[in-house]
Amino acid sequence: MRRLRRTPALRRLVAETRLSVDDLIAPLFVREGIDEPRPIASLPGQVQHTRESLREEVAELAALGVPAVVLFGLPANKDAEGSEAWNPDGIVQVALRDLSEDMGDDLVLISDLCLDEYTDHGHCGVLTTDGRVDNDATVERYGLAAVAQAEAGADIVAPSGMMDGQVRAIRTALDGSGQTDVAVLAYAAKYASALYGPFREAVDVEIAGGGDRKGYQQDPRNAREALEEIRLDLEEGADLVMVKPALAYLDVIARARAEVDAPLAAYHVSGEYAMVKAAAEKGWIDGDAVLAEHVTAIRRAGADMILTYAAREIAPHL
Ligand code: PBG
Any atom of ligand 1 within 6 Å of the Cβ of 155: no
Q: What is the phi-psi region of residue 153: left when phi exceeds 0, alpha when psi lies from -120 to 50, beta otherwise?
A: left
Helix (H, G, I), strand (E, B) or coil at 261: coil
Nearest CA residue ID for atom 1, ligand 1: 160
Whole-number average pLDDT of the chain: 97
- For residue 63, pLDDT over 90 is answered with yes
**For 8-32, how does the pLDDT look when each residue is reduced to its tens digit (9 = 90+)?**
999 999 999 999 999 999 999 999 9
In a domain, 73, yes or no: yes
Amino acid at 127: L
* Domain assignment present for 111: yes
Instruction: Give dist(CA 125, CA 162) in Å, integer.
Output: 10
Domain count, the chain: 1
pTM for this entry: 0.97
Read off the pLDDT of residues 78-132 as tens digits, 9 standing for 90 and up.
999 999 999 999 999 999 999 999 999 999 999 999 999 999 999 999 999 998 9
pLDDT at 281 (0 to 100):
97
Instruction: Kindly state whether residue 301 falls inside one of the protein's structural domains.
Output: yes
Q: Nearest residue CA, atom 5 of ligand 1?
A: 160
Does ligand 1 have an atom closer than 6 angstroms to the CB of 193? Answer: no
109 phi/psi in degrees, rounded to 5: -100, 115
* Residues 215-226 pLDDT 10s: 999 999 999 999
- Residue 214 a catalytic site member: no
pLDDT value at position 209? 83
Nearest CA to ligand 1 atom 16: 114
Q: The domain that contains 232 carries what CATH number?
A: 3.20.20.70
Distance CA 212, CA 8 (A): 47
- In this prediction, residue 307 carries a pLDDT of 98
Return contacts of 128-132, CB within 8 angstroms, 24+ apart.
132/215
Which structural domain range is residue 55 located in? 17-210+220-317
Phi, psi at residue 119, to the nearest 5°? Answer: -90, 145
Q: Is residue 215 part of a domain?
A: no
Tell me what pLDDT residue 229 has: 98
C-alpha to C-alpha distance for 255 and 188, rounded to whole angstroms: 14
199 lines ligand 1 (CB under 6 A): yes
Per-residue pLDDT at 210 exceeds 90: no
Alpha carbon of 105 to ligand 1 centroid (Å): 26
Give 131-171 pLDDT, tens digit per residue. Answer: 899 999 999 999 999 999 999 999 999 999 999 999 999 99
**Binding site membership of 240 for ligand 1 (Cβ less than 6 Å):** no
Is 11 among the domain residues? no
Residues 6+ apart with CB under 8 A from 84: 73, 75, 77, 78, 90, 91, 118
Judge if the beta carbon of residue 114 lies within 6 A of ligand 1.
yes
Exposure on the CB side of residue 211, measured as CA atoms within 13 A: 19
pLDDT band at 204 (very low <50, low <70, confident <90, very high): confident
